[in-house]
Amino acid sequence: MANKDFNMEDLLIDQSRFDFKNPERYSYKSLPGLNEKIIQEISEQKNEPKWMTQLRLKFLKIFQTCKDPQFGVNLDDLDLSKIVAYIKPNAKRSNNWEEVPDDIKDTFEKLGIPEAERKALAGVGAQYDSEIVYQHVQKDLENLGVIFMDMETAVKKHPDLVKQHFMKAVTATNHKYAALHGAIWSGGTFLYVPRGVKVPLPLQAYFRMNNPGMGQLEHTIIIADEGSEVAFIEGCSAPFYNTTNIHAGMVEIYVKESARVKYATIQNWSKNTYNLNTKRAIVDRDGMMEWVSGSLGSYKTMIYPSSILKGKGAKTETKAITYAGPNQHMDAGSKVLMFAPYTSASVDARSISVGGGWAFYRGWLKIGENAKGAKANVQCQALMLDNESKSDTVPLIEVHNQDSDVGHEAKIGRIKQEQIYYLMTRGLSEAEAKAMVVRGFVEPFAKELPIEYALELNRLINLEVESSIG
């Protein structure tokens, strides 16, 4: 059997499925930059209550005093004075798919959102630029008291719940882009699951940036009351433009006693996008928080899903895959803060770098003095597919008591030639052998997704390696 040369280009993500654009069409577009006038105009467009406007202005002042983070990706080329903070689509918010304008509906149909809703989801929210245009949840869940709506509606209909949770897990003083988010957030999801309710199918939010030079800063709040269970899937994409876009969304999750939340993300932003996302969960007694995170797109990314285990017996698990292709710097990782007895944490973080990409794992595990009997395990694995790519791991582990069990393992390397040789002796070509190794590397992450999204991941990471005979 003739040997085939391995073509590295066949392992690069195919972005073309997401790289379609609609003509710019909107009902309102703010001027580039950020000041009090722009924030007032955004708030007026949303017809927000005065308390939210006041919060925005408060967060603006905090933002104006903040400097860029002193770690992670280089942000010197990110000029926020050129970013458009708010683009309101020319579409009314609806729970009827047929009422969505044809061009926007066509966008989400190309992305498979209606089909996924019919097959595998209990509810969907679809955001186009700065606003949710479609939000729907199954009627039987509404009858059980599940609240699933866009954040703008929640601010008006459930102000007490929103005030209690909005930017409380992540405060505006946490970092510069948290403050930026608080000032100009728009869109996103509010989800409340009542005590004891177990949502049988996942809920989803999908975020699409269509316009160049904009920022998308959706805000998501999930509250899982005592003994409840819910799974939430987040997807996002954007076409490529020769100008800078920024995504600085925020996710705040509150896992009450004995509740369970699974939050899965597959983000595939275009390579002109800075992805500076913040996600944090607070977990009460015997609660469980699962993060499943796939960081595949963007020009530069900083994202570290974090769990604060504040109740006895609280648990968290993180499974993450990061893909850094040509001209990508992906600084991703996890944070776990364990403050109560008998808490437990597991982190399995993997990265692939190819074509000169740079994958960087940055993690923080802190076990406090009161976390007696805590157990934690952190695994970092990095796979480099060529000699031009880079990978680093910086795991910070702090243990402040003598009664904890902590394990850590990190592996960085290239595909082993012994593995390739063994598979080739079993009849595979070199290309097929390398593809099989990478599939196996990704598999623990993919199996955590519903089947439709696992298939989507396999489409994103094009592992069907075919190359010509050299």
Domain regions of the chain by residue span: 29-303
Nearest Cα to 264, choosing from 299, 229, 305? 305
Using alpha carbons, list the distances in angstroms from residue 209 to 127, 286, 300: 8, 38, 16
Inter-residue contact 336 to 364 (CB < 8 Å)? yes
Output the CA torsion sign for 139, 144, 149, 152. Answer: positive
Q: How many residues does the chain have?
A: 470
CB proximity list for 75: less than 8 A, separation 6 or greater? 68, 69, 274, 300
Strand order in the sheet with 315-324: 131-137, 123-128, 203-208, 229-237, 260-268, 288-295, 315-324, 344-353, 375-384, 405-414
| Predicted local confidence at residue 370, as pLDDT | 96
| Predicted local confidence at residue 7, as pLDDT | 44
33, exposed or middle or buried, with CB in 10 Å at 0-12, 13-18, 19+? middle
Cβ atoms within 10 Å, residue 54: 12
| Predicted local confidence at residue 411, as pLDDT | 84
Which structure tokens are listed for 148? 């699933």
> What residue spans of 34-121 are helical by DSSP H?
36-46, 50-64, 102-110, 113-120
| Predicted local confidence at residue 4, as pLDDT | 37
* Cα–Cα distance, 422 to 433 (Å, whole number): 9
Question: DSSP secondary-structure letter at 428?
Answer: -
pLDDT by residue, tens only, the chain of 470 residues? 333 343 434 444 455 555 555 666 667 899 999 999 999 999 999 999 999 999 999 999 999 999 999 899 999 999 999 999 999 988 777 787 788 777 777 777 776 666 766 666 777 788 888 888 888 888 888 899 999 999 999 999 999 999 999 999 999 999 999 999 999 999 999 999 999 999 998 898 888 888 889 999 999 999 999 999 999 998 887 888 888 999 999 999 999 999 999 999 888 888 899 999 999 999 999 999 999 988 888 999 999 999 999 999 999 999 998 989 889 999 999 999 999 999 999 999 999 888 889 999 999 999 999 999 999 999 999 988 888 889 999 999 999 999 999 999 888 887 777 888 888 898 888 777 777 777 778 777 777 766 555 655 655 554 333 322 22
Question: DSSP secondary-structure letter at 8?
Answer: G
| Predicted local confidence at residue 416, as pLDDT | 77
317-353 as b/e: b if 16+ CB within 10 A: bbbbbbbbbeebbbbbbbbbbbbbbbbbbbbbbbbbb
Inter-residue contact 430 to 4 (CB < 8 Å)? yes
